[in-house]
Chain A
């Protein structure tokens, strides 16, 4: 049989979880990571990262809106997916996650963004004309009160929402790791470390994405990049990435030391079918190079220009590394037979519903969502807004 080496059970030959299922944990990870970065400023009072706060929230929202789309395209009957909400099954992790998603979207992200932007929304509803005025009017929910006290209350409530948002973000992404980690039939996935590894890699990728977006958007706006901010973001990215790498290595060492009945089969897979995506792309290029470069930025005095370039390279490599990690988990877990006697091949289609072009489209789509959100809710208020607020 083409693409099959050794013996596979008949239901193992074709991979059912395609590149879109690789994309799904990647995108939710970016959401969780971006939100954690926002919480650094809000809850942990890291003032240096303030210029990224609103951008991080909008990035999280843009990616969260995109997150269910790979799943919808993967479903045989996407038109029935709403039934997950109408007839919830309490013993199904996937079904319950639908509620976690809604909770995170509405009670955390949308509410926090609304609270943070409320002053701007009210001011824009008074200054804008035409359709946009109506849109902003609707977004005020009919309340134009932006008194000092009401904004102070918003600040307090926002703090609480962010505090609730942190475990929610962990739950959102921990679930994805849980889905894989709890599958005891699959030794490549079954590990209690899986949710933790997913969360830390999510944080690293989300922070990397916000940093890249911040640098790109600032450049496009012809503004000066706040180096104090990107230095602080890079520092947190470095620390979290070290933790992520340590946890993944801990998992690896544990597997090697335990060397259960699946080990020879999985070890063979890492040295053959997953060699490029795991050893070369994820570990060597995607992890060690950014770790060394970020380490240098922490210990050596490097010029501003060079630091910016290093941050761009590191963020890009971390994003590639985490995508490769998702690939290795999702695809890798389906390449070997549960008999440990054979291996199959994943042939990615190009233009089918679950093909490469759709995957690329779904990766770019959140950037379009973000563009709309940035137009609607600019993270950097225009001068006239600031002036009119000053006149209040």
Chain B
């Protein structure tokens, strides 16, 4: 028995260690959500919660069902594959009830340079300009129709320029 007495303090330290580990496991069982690890290293219930969020983007087809003229113009130009809401923002509310919300008219001076300001990282064939030199404060839609921005050689403007909608 005296042999044990001389190592008793070590068992006490080990006991403290085990108690801390047990406390950790107990806290863990309360803190970690039940659905954690259901599908992967994340909370499984998060999928349902995210799916329950209200839809904000209407999608290209929803716009095309009313704005056929714009869609036709766009289909002929370089922006054919740019979705409406990429520039106009999420408009599911407008698509479900057009009178409930009117989209804000966009400032092309701000909008267009987001993609078309010159940067060495962009492919050479991508249209890019130095905004200060290229337009000097004149809104882009004065010359370019944002829905089909190519300049026609005969008019010096693009199709229906000045009518950005």
Contacts and interface: CB of A to CB of B under 8 A. Distances in A.
A224 to B, nearest CB: 35
Given A87-B36, A141-B16, A150 B9 contact: yes
B6 A141 contact: no
Interface in B3-31: 5-10, 12-13, 16-17, 20, 24, 27-28, 31
Interface string A359-385: 000000000000000000000000000
A111 B17 CA distance: 10
B5 A111 contact: no
A9 B121 contact: yes
A145 B32 contact: no
B41 interface: yes
Contacts of A86: 27-28, 31-32
A10 B9 CA distance: 59
A45 interface: no
A239 interface: no
Given A7-B121, A141-B16, A89 B41 contact: yes
A147 B6 CA distance: 7
Given A7-B120, A87-B32, A106 B17 contact: yes
B8 A143 contact: yes
Interface string A1-21: 000000101100000000000
Contacts of B27: 86
Contacts of B16: 141
Interface in B76-128: 120-121
A138 B31 CA distance: 29
A141 B16 CA distance: 9
A310 interface: no
Given A7-B121, A87-B41, A142 B12 contact: yes
Given A145-B6, A149-B6, A114 B120 contact: no
B67 to A, nearest CB: 33
A338 to B, nearest CB: 12
B15 to A, nearest CB: 8
Nearest to B37: A87
Most buried by A among B10, B31, B32: B10
B5 A145 contact: yes
B86 to A, nearest CB: 19
B121 A153 contact: no
A150 B7 CA distance: 6
A85 B31 CA distance: 11
Interface string A69-108: 0000000000000100111010000000000000000110
A118 interface: yes
B9 A143 contact: yes
Contacts of B120: 7
A145 B7 CA distance: 9
Contacts of A141: 9, 12-13, 16
A143 B12 CA distance: 8
Nearest to B15: A141
B39 to A, nearest CB: 14
A49 B121 CA distance: 58
Contacts of A10: 121
Contacts of A111: 13
Contact of B6 (A106, A107, A142, A150): A150
A229 interface: no
A153 B10 contact: yes
Contacts of A149: 6
B6 A153 contact: yes
A141 B17 CA distance: 12
Contacts of B9: 118, 140-141, 143, 145, 150
A43 interface: no
Nearest to B36: A87
A147 B136 CA distance: 90
A66 to B, nearest CB: 21
Nearest to A148: B6
Contacts of B8: 143, 145
Nearest to B28: A86
Nearest to B120: A7
A130 B9 CA distance: 24
Given A7-B120, A86-B31, 19 more contacts: A7-B121, A9-B121, A10-B121, A82-B31, A85-B24, A87-B36, A87-B41, A106-B20, A111-B13, A141-B13, A142-B12, A143-B8, A143-B9, A145-B5, A145-B6, A149-B6, A150-B7, A153-B6, A153-B10
By Cβ-Cβ distance, the 8 closest A-B pairs, closest first, are: A143-B9, A150-B6, A141-B12, A149-B6, A7-B120, A86-B28, A86-B32, A86-B31
17 contacts: A85-B24, A86-B27, A86-B28, A86-B31, A87-B36, A87-B37, A87-B41, A89-B41, A106-B17, A106-B20, A114-B13, A141-B9, A143-B8, A143-B12, A145-B6, A147-B6, A153-B7
